[in-house]
Amino acid sequence: MWNSIYDNFVQMLAGLRWSAFLAQNNNNIAQATRMRNVFRNDLYAISGLVIITVTICIAAAYYFILNCRGGAGYAFRVKFWFTALLANSLLISASVLFISVSMTKAYSSLNPFKYCLSLGISNLIYSALLFFVLSLIFKKYSVASTTPF
């Protein structure tokens, strides 16, 4: 289920369905199919693991390290929470973009960058949502119980 949601969102952001991509590259259909399978079988799983791991680490660091070090009121402001969310999202998006470009380098003749960029943008959105959800959970057990709201 996660894989198909991820796949549909990436295709929507790229503006090109995989079926249309394969039809455009019908003279090199085997290589186009292999590239699609790299996304479906490898990149979606890797990017999901990157999102989960990095977001948990950054959210835990924000709630349990940064806010405990300074005492009451150190980083309890919404601007610090938003900065942590933005840093998390941009770090994940850039990391996944770098990983996807390097993994699809062998298929550069097919111009896979729009799919790589779409994967990076979708990870930006998913990581922001996960950071928000983790904030709702972590704030109950942290001294920053009023952040973000």
Domain that includes residue 99, residue range: 2-141
Number of domains in the chain: 1
* Cα pseudo-dihedral 48, 49, 50, 52, rounded to 10: 90
Report pLDDT digits (tens) over 46-91. Answer: 999 999 999 999 999 888 887 775 555 555 677 888 999 999 999 9
Q: Centre a 10 Å sphere on the Cβ of residue 13 and count the other Cβ atoms it contains.
A: 17
Report pLDDT digits (tens) over 84-129. Answer: 999 999 999 999 999 999 999 988 888 889 999 999 999 999 999 9
Place of tokens 């996944």: 96
For residue 113, tell me if it sits in a domain: yes
For residue 118, tell me if it sits in a domain: yes
For residue 148, tell me if it sits in a domain: no
For residue 66, tell me if it sits in a domain: yes
